[in-house]
Amino acid sequence: MKFIHTADIQIGARYAQFGEKAGIPRAARLSTLKRILEIAREQDADAVLIAGDMFESNQIANAQVNEAFAALAARPEIPVVILPGNHDPLDGPGCIWMREPFANPPDHVTVCLSREPIPIADAIVLPVPITQKVSTKDPSLPLVEMAGQITRDRIKIGMTHGALAIDGKHQPSDQPIALDAATRAKLDYLAVGHWHKPQVYDDGRLAMSGTPEPDDFDQDSGSVALVEISAPGHKPVITQLDSAKFCWQSVTVDLLNRQPSPDIITASIQATATPPDATVLRIELVGPVSPEHRETLVSAIDRIAQDYAVVRVDDRTSTVLSESLWKACLQEHPLLAQAVADVGRARLFNTGCTPTVDTSAIEQLTLDEFQSLCDDLKIETQQLRDDAFEAMMALLAAEVGKAGTGCGAA
Amino acid sequence: MRCRVKLESITLRNTGPFTDGVTVGPLADGLNVLTARNEAGKTTLLIAATRALFDRHNVSGDAMERLRPAGTSLAPDITVIFVTTEGRFKIHKTFLNSPLSELSEDRDGTWHAISDGDAADGKVLELIGGERSGRGASKAEHWGLLRYLWARQGETVDWPAWDDNAGARIRTGLAQVQIDPLVERLADQFRDMQAAQFTSTGRVAKNSPLQQAQQTCERLASELADVRSKMEEIENQSQQLMQLRDELLVRDREKTEADKQADALTETLKQVELLQKDLERFQSDFETAQERLNAVHNEKKTLDEAKAELDKAQKELAEHQSRQKHAQKEEQAAGQALTSLQNDARALRKRIESTRKRETRLHEIQGLRVTERDLETLRKQFTTVRNQQRNIDQLRRKRAALPDVSNRQVIKLEQIDQEIRDLGIRAEAVGLRVALTPKQDVTLVADRDDTEETLDIATGKTETIIATRVLRLHLPEWGDLQIASGAEEAAEIEQRIGARQSALEAELKKCGVTSIDSARTILEQLKDLDKEIKTAETRLVELLENRDDPQSLAADVEEHEAAIEKLRAHLDITKTETALSQAELKAELTVIRTALETEEAAWATLQDATETQSKRLEICGATRFETLTAVNEIKQRIASLTSRAATIEGRHTEGIDKAEESAQTAFVEAKAQLNVARKKMPPDWEKLEARHERALKSAGQAATEHQHLQQKTQRLEAFLEQSGSQGLYSRETRLQESLVSAETECKRIQDHALAARFLAGLIDYRKKAAVSTVLQPLEDQLSATFADITGIHNRRVFLDENLQVAGIGRKREETYAFDQLSQGAREQLLLALRAAVALELAKTGPQLLILDDVLVNTDATRQENVLDFIGNLAQHVQVLIVTCHGERYRGIGENIGIRPN
């Protein structure tokens, strides 16, 4: 018996962190389903077992459901067993499995609407579908009785969905599955879904396949398990096969004591081998950046973003003035320098960030003055978040930069 | 900076009122006072000097025409000598007819022409810091610093705006307020940025990008909440469906159970119905046997009781018949005794009535005699009353005959008489009267008509000493003093006596008497008569005894006489009765009354006896009737009992005991059969029917509830089936993703707008702080000068960033605005400001300050202060005061006049 064990495809998943670009990673999950079927064909698998959470929710749009169904229907040579999970539980007539088109699937697609054993090749698949989103019960318990009714000459494969009962790693209501659930039920293999990172327990008989498509940065996932069981009682051979469309990569670019340039960013990204158009990239910018370099940085990132599937920039830099620029500003535009210093002080009062330039030679804005100024301007001090101060610094620093250049030229 | 100038002299010809040449000057370096009457041409002189300094020589127009002497076509000719930092210069200009401009410079005491024509005009402007005017004559704004330092008569007291180049130079020079143009531009840029998002009050501006972004966020959040609400509802419905399904299973089981129970009870009920029929039959047999047994028992008991009662009744009959006979005898005896008593009573009654009549007659006779006695008494009383009435009438007549002298009149007569006598005594005593009032206590001897008397007179007290003829006073430590009598007083007293005597006589006549004694006598008589009349009247009242008058007494007499007459006619008294004395009458009456009492007592006793006997007779009758009734009743009872016993014995011919035994046997057998039937019935069989009904009802309810739940479940399933296909999660996902983007954008806009608003405000704040810092020295100087002039040192002058007077007060926030100040204060304040400007300018070169009668509203005290201040000012600045009030500036500075050439 050779089959593909996967779970948590979560078609229709949400990626709010990407805003308007969320559609790209979402669409990828449907592509991944097709990719899994392709892998099954390549591996000549007897079946594909989807151990729960094929869909993100029972209430995703019909278009996505229909598309997924079409993908399955397009591969009639590959038997597919679908187990409802906690995201798409078998909880009533409104669930995906009770509605069209899955209410009447083609012969090669089996939706586990009950615990009825399903014969596949020389094995019997014993499913325990999930009927509610949360439960403190171990869904693998019925497998003991179910497996007891199967003759010993058949390979017994259990299927269910829930967290692994590892202390401190699961919620009590997360349908915890005992780590020896396969042995306890005398199963040859127990296919489990829920956690997105692949892992194996119970002497290689209980496996969490992990999600076939990553949905977070630095998540060790994006594969399916190819499982081979030669005969009843024999130990399964599990091989993880890549299935992901996108590689999620996060790079941190620290600008401290560095001149921002496209090279800095590309150098950081090159650590991964995935092509840019198959990468969801997060660029985290930290450290100080001078006004004269910020523009360079922004245009460099814009250029890079064109090549990558999705790019998200977390800009945590702070605008600073170089010492020479600051001195020139102090000398030529004392009032502007005073404003820069005042913004630094106000930022200190409101956010605790210390000023990045030495303002000791300038009159210090007092807390009372800051409060009074805000009152006069009808601004609540808590409205002034760090981003607002950063915007102030950027506005001022840009002008200081221009003026500083002018001074230098003079 | 070429803006410093000092005037040395002004020379005019053919200008204004000065057709002939006049010169003003030389002006001193310090204070100069140009005094001249009104219309003397002082202001014209100054205007002419400014024309020479600031106007092109070939300019024309109304302003220049006004320089000509009135009604002439003479060309104004003006020469001004002035000193700048560049040196000493002389400008000579002729306007209008033959324009001319010549500029000379003093070199080692000799004038050297350095330029002429337009060049000379331009050079002068350069030297004194003026500005070239357009086509016409120059205006104040072209006069450079002189615009600010020439306080012109008749102009408003407002300080000119610093809106020209000279003003800007002064601002820069004085306050050194330099706002960085870069910062100004930035501030404008920030203001524009924030104004695009916020209103002036800090609210989000309508239709601004920020508002649009916020509205987008709100719309998305609202839609998201709506979708989530629907999802939550689906979730709830889903939960409800799960519960319903569980409940449906339970109901299903309950329904099956209820049906089973109802069926079992139906079967049991059928069996019970058959058994119940047997039971009812045995029950009926048992009840019949029981009734039969009870009937025989009762009849036996009734027969025994009837026989016992028959014996008892016969005994009672005999006893009552005996009592009946005895009662008849008693009744006869009582009737005879009652008849005897009634006869005795009738005889006694007749006797009592006879005795009572006799007693009444004697009593009336006795009353007649009492009435006769009363009549006699009344007659006597009437006689006495009549006599008393006559006596009173007599006394009254006697009193009426006497004069009517009252006690008051007698007293008055006596008073007049006493007065006459007193006056007589005084007339006799009239002679000497001396009044002494010593200054200290004194004792003296008075000899009055040869009678000596020692008198002690206290200090300050007046002692009057009178003597008829001669009075001698022996005064200690002085000697004797003799005083003779006076006749006038005697004559006066005589006159008064005469008058009083006439009054006495008139009063006597009025009283109807001849003398006072006679009046007194008559008065006594009157009093006695009044007393007697009063006593007689009192006696009369007593005699009348509560009657109003004697006529009432007479009526009483007549009434008694009539009553006696009537009684006599009624009684028709016999001679024997008439012969009876009062005592005899009384004694006979007593005897009769005693006899009457005895008879009445006997009558009462007889009545009691009769009543007792009557009651006895009644009791005997009742007893007889009672015994007769009882006898009859007992006879009836005996008959009834005899009949009843015969009936019972007739029904049971075999005998009552045997009949009872037979009924007992039948009862025991029926009871045994009933017990056997009862044991065959199931337990609580009586309740089975109710239970069966209940079970049927329960099964029906279970079926209804099951059906209801089933329908509800089907509805929910239909709802969920329909809801599931709405794709709400996907909609929520898209909305949330859009919301995140919108919120990020909204936050970005808001942060940038807030940043711009804060920065614009911050720059304004720092700019004001900078201005305030550099303005402070000027404000210090200005405040000190103003305080010197006004004498008020506890207030300060504040300037705004445009170097305008912001106000006066103790604090910048609490000032009086310039407009609120008096005209005088405004003049003085502007003088102080001009002085401050001039002093500042004088630090780098010669400087002129012209004051053209500008302090007309200043009072004398402040005028002195102004003079002190100007005196000090003139040590640094050339001051030219032009005035028609020379007396105000007397004693200070150089007094210059308009000197003819």
Give the residue from chain B lying closest to A378, CA to CA. Answer: B202
d(CA A93, CA B363): 138
Q: What is the CATH number of the domain that holds B79?
A: 3.40.50.300
Average pLDDT over residues B755-776: 83
For A192, counting Cβ atoms within 10 Å of its Cβ (0-12 exposed, 13-18 middle, 19+ buried), the class is buried
A358 pLDDT more than 80: no
* Alpha-carbon torsion angle B150, B151, B153, B157, nearest 10: 150
> Could you read off the pLDDT of B71-95 as tens digits, one per residue?
888 889 999 998 888 889 999 999 8
B392 within some domain: no
* Residue with more model confidence, B336 or B196: B196
Query: Does B94 map to a domain?
Result: yes
Q: Give the mean pLDDT of chain B.
A: 84
CA A350 to CA A370: how far, in whole Å? 10
Partner-chain contact B737 A12, CB within 8 Å: no
Bridge partners of B135, per DSSP, are none
Write out chain A residues lying below 8 Å of B717, CB-based.
92-93
| pLDDT interval class at B1 (50, 70, 90) | very low
What is residue B484's predicted lDDT score, i.e. its pLDDT?
62
Where is pLDDT greater, at A293 or A43? A43
Distance of residue A63 Cα from the nearest chain B Cα, in angstroms: 9
Q: How many domains does chain B have?
A: 2
Write the single-letter amino acid at A62. Answer: N
Domain extent listing, chain A: 2-242, 247-409
The region of weakest confidence among A42-46, A143-147, A356-360 is A356-360
**Are residues B762 and A342, on separate chains, in Cβ contact within 8 Å?**
yes
Measured between beta carbons, which residues in chain A are less than 8 angstroms from residue B246? none
Specify if B782 maps to a domain: no
Could you report the per-residue pLDDT of B507-551, keeping only the tens digit for each?
888 888 888 888 888 888 888 988 988 998 888 888 888 888 888
B761 CA: distance to closest CA in chain A (Å): 7
- Determine the average pLDDT of the residues in A253-280: 77
pLDDT for B725 equals 79
Contact A132 B242 (CB under 8 A): yes
Residue B161 pLDDT exceeds 70: no
Give B287-351 as a 3 state SS string.
HHHHHHHHHHHHHHHHHHHHHHHHHHHHHHHHHHHHHHHHHHHHHHHHHHHHHHHHHHHHHHHHH
Q: Which CATH topology does A2-242 take?
A: Purple Acid Phosphatase; chain A, domain 2 (3.60.21)
Neighbours of B676 (CB within 10 A): 12
Residue-level pLDDT at B300: 87
* pLDDT for residue B180 is more than 80: no
C-alpha A208/C-alpha A197 separation (Å) is 8
CB contact under 8 A, B238 and A376: no
Q: Which residues in chain B have their CB less than 8 angstroms from residue A333's CB?
A: 180, 182-183
Is residue B293 scored above 60 in pLDDT?
Answer: yes
Q: What is the pLDDT of residue B112?
A: 92
Kindly determine whether residue B755 and residue A342, on different chains, have CB atoms separated by under 8 Å: no
Query: What pLDDT score does A130 carry?
Result: 96
**CA B42/CA B46 separation, integer angstroms:** 7
List the single best residue of B725, B758, B768 to mutate versus A (max A Cβ within 10 A): B758
Q: In this structure, what token pair is assigned to residue B19?
A: 């057709």
Which residue of B186, B727, B759 is in closest CB contact with A62?
B727
* Helix (H) or strand (E) run with residue B586 in it: helix B582-651
- Residues A228, A7 contacting (CB under 8 angstroms): no
| Cβ within 8 Å of residue A323, ≥6 positions away | none
- Enumerate residues 6+ apart whose C-beta is below 8 A from A67: A30
Rg (CA), chain B: 82
Q: Which of A373, A383, A389 has its CB closest to that of B761?
A: A373
- Chain B residues near residue A387 by CB distance under 8 angstroms: 747-748, 751
- Structure tokens given for A135: 């439960």
Sheet holding A189-193, edge to edge: A118-120, A123-127, A155-161, A189-193, A206-208, A199-201
pLDDT band at A406 (very low <50, low <70, confident <90, very high): very low
- Cβ of B741 within 8 Å of Cβ of A346? The answer is no
- pLDDT-derived band at A409, boundaries 50, 70, 90: very low
State the burial class of residue B720 (Cβ atoms within 10 Å of its Cβ: 0-12, 13-18, 19+). Answer: buried
Q: Do A335 and B183 touch (CB under 8 A)?
A: yes
Work out whether the CA dihedral B787, B792, B798, B802 comes out positive or negative: negative
| H or E element, residue B91 | strand B87-94
- CB-nearest partner of B737 from A12, A22, A63: A22
Would the CB atoms of A387 and B723 count as touching at under 8 Å? no
Domain extent, residue B159, equals 6-180+836-900
Mean pLDDT lowest among A137-151, B322-336, B381-395, B771-785? B771-785
Q: What is the pLDDT of residues B357-383, one digit of tens each?
A: 888 888 888 888 888 888 888 888 888
pLDDT digits (tens, 9 = 90+) for B205-260: 999 999 999 999 999 999 999 999 999 998 898 888 888 988 999 989 988 998 89
Nearest CA to CA, how far is A279 from chain B (Å)? Answer: 20
Cα-flanking dihedrals φ and ψ of residue B468, to 5°?
Answer: -75, -45
Domain membership flag for residue B91: yes
Examine the pLDDT at B454 and tell me if it is beyond 60: yes
Confidence of residue A195 (pLDDT cuts 50, 70, 90): very high
Q: How far is CA B854 from CA A231, A313, B783, B859, B885, in A?
A: 123, 72, 20, 13, 11
To the nearest whole Å, the CA of B813 is away from the closest chain A CA by: 15
Inter-chain contacts counted by CB atoms under 8 A, chains A and B: 165
Chain A closest-CA separation from residue B251 CA (Å)? 20
A20 contacts on B by Cβ (under 8 Å)? 737-738, 741
- End residue of a domain, out of B418, B451, B485: B485
pLDDT band at A53 (very low <50, low <70, confident <90, very high): very high
Q: Which residue of B has its CA nearest to A15?
A: B737
For B190, which residue in chain A has the nearest alpha carbon?
A395
Quickly state the pLDDT bin for B818 (edges 50, 70, 90).
confident
Share of chain B above pLDDT 90, in %: 10
Chain A CB contacts of B186 below 8 Å: 336, 396, 399
In a domain, B884, yes or no: yes
> What pLDDT does B865 receive?
81
Tokens encoding B766: 């720092």
In the predicted model, is pLDDT for residue B461 greater than 90?
Answer: no
Residue in chain A closest to B202 (alpha carbons) equals: A378
Interval A313-346: pLDDT, tens: 888 888 888 778 888 877 788 888 888 889 989 9
Give A-chain residues touching B813 at CB under 8 angstroms: none
**Is the CB of residue B465 less than 8 Å from the CB of residue B414?**
no
Residue A234: which pLDDT band, with cuts at 50, 70 and 90?
A: very high
Site from A15, A58, A59, A97 to mutate, B interface, most B CB atoms within 10 angstroms:
A59
Looking at the predicted structure, is the pLDDT value of residue B681 above 50?
yes
Give the separation between CA A121 and CA B132, rounded to whole angstroms: 111
Q: Give B708→chain A minimum CA distance, Å.
A: 19
Q: Best residue in A335, A393, A396 to probe B by mutation, most B CBs within 10 Å?
A: A335
Best interface-test mutation with B: which of A377, A384, A400, A405 has the largest number of B CBs within 10 A?
A: A377
**Among A20, A379, A399, beta carbon nearest to B186:** A399
- Cβ of A379 and B758 within 8 Å? yes
pLDDT per residue as tens digits for the range B106-139: 988 899 999 998 899 888 888 887 777 777 777 7
Upper half-sphere CA count for residue B580 (Cβ side, 13 Å): 16
User: How confident is the prediction for chain A on average, in pLDDT?
Assistant: 89
Instruction: Considering only residues A141 and B364, tell me which one the structure prediction assigns the higher pLDDT.
Output: A141
Q: Are strands A109-111 and A80-82 parallel, antiparallel or unpaired?
A: parallel
CB atoms within 10 A of CB B284: 12
CB-CB under 8 Å, A61 with B231 = no
CB contact under 8 A, B770 and A335: yes
| Strand-strand pairing, B848-852 and B150-151 | parallel
3-state secondary structure of B7: strand
